[in-house]
Amino acid sequence: MVTFRREDRERVAAGEITVTFRLWTTAKVKAGKAYRTGIGTLEIDDVQVMPAGMISSRDVPRSGCRDIRAIWELAGEHANTIVGPDTVLHRVQFRFLGDVAPSAAPTASLDLDALAKRLTRTDALSSRGPWTLDVLRLIESAPHVPARILAAGIGWETLDFKARVRRLKALGLTISREIGYELSELGRQYLASLNPPRRSGSARSPRTRARSRS
């Protein structure tokens, strides 16, 4: 459950606050899920784990705080403790949906156009920058590879990588396997929609051209 200070509730409802940091032992919310709060329903867009010292200045206005130190103080206030730069926090990115039941919140059953808009919005709100297409293509090219290896290959922390793949899974784009991941049928359709097959008469591939010259 995510709760907010009384003075922040109107700003959350207005969409001014879209990120919060919490000192949790384990995540209490999941990306792609909707949760009822005292002021309405929130849809969780992303959950990351990071040291407090790595909070980006871009998250200051999104959190409703005046600076990063104030973010630390607020996270500590929620847990009744003191937060320092090495304290591990959960970064929760969300959207306020209003007075709707969580069961009525948007689900993964989106058409490709709506899905593309959803992923574009996710990229735009991400502290890392655009990432959704890169991760989908990585999973497409390396199915059933352990998350720690995929994450290391692109220079990410494993927990961060797993959290973002869960976000894609919530949209129905990926499937978790005993080892690693693979694209779902929807995930394959989405990538195919970005790279439509060439029409007949189009330019031949470099491999075909090389054979024709030999």
Q: Which of 87-91, 173-177, 203-207 has the highest mean pLDDT?
A: 87-91
CATH number of 112-194: 1.10.10.10
What pLDDT sits at residue 105?
Answer: 54
Q: Residue 205's pLDDT band (boundaries 50, 70, 90)?
A: very low
Which positions ≥6 away from 56 have C-beta within 8 Å? 127
Angle between helix axes 158-170 and 132-141 (nearest 10 degrees) is 90
Q: Residue 198's pLDDT band (boundaries 50, 70, 90)?
A: very low
pTM of the predicted model over 0.85: no
CB 165 within 8 A of CB 135: yes
CB 191 within 8 A of CB 132: no
pLDDT digits (tens, 9 = 90+) for 123-139: 888 888 899 999 999 99
The single residue listed with the structure tokens 């990229």 is 123
How many C-alpha atoms does 214 have within 13 Å on its Cβ side?
A: 6
What residue segments make up the domains of the chain, in order of their start? 6-102, 112-194
The better pLDDT of the pair 159, 210 is held by 159
pLDDT digits (tens, 9 = 90+) for 5-33: 999 999 998 889 999 999 999 989 988 78
pLDDT digits (tens, 9 = 90+) for 52-66: 999 999 999 999 999
Q: Is 3.30.365.10 the CATH number for 6-102?
A: no
Q: What token pair was written down for 168?
A: 């894609």
What pLDDT sits at residue 176?
Answer: 82
**Amino acid residing at 197:** P
pLDDT digits (tens, 9 = 90+) for 74-94: 999 988 899 999 999 999 988
Domains 6-102 and 112-194 share a fold: no
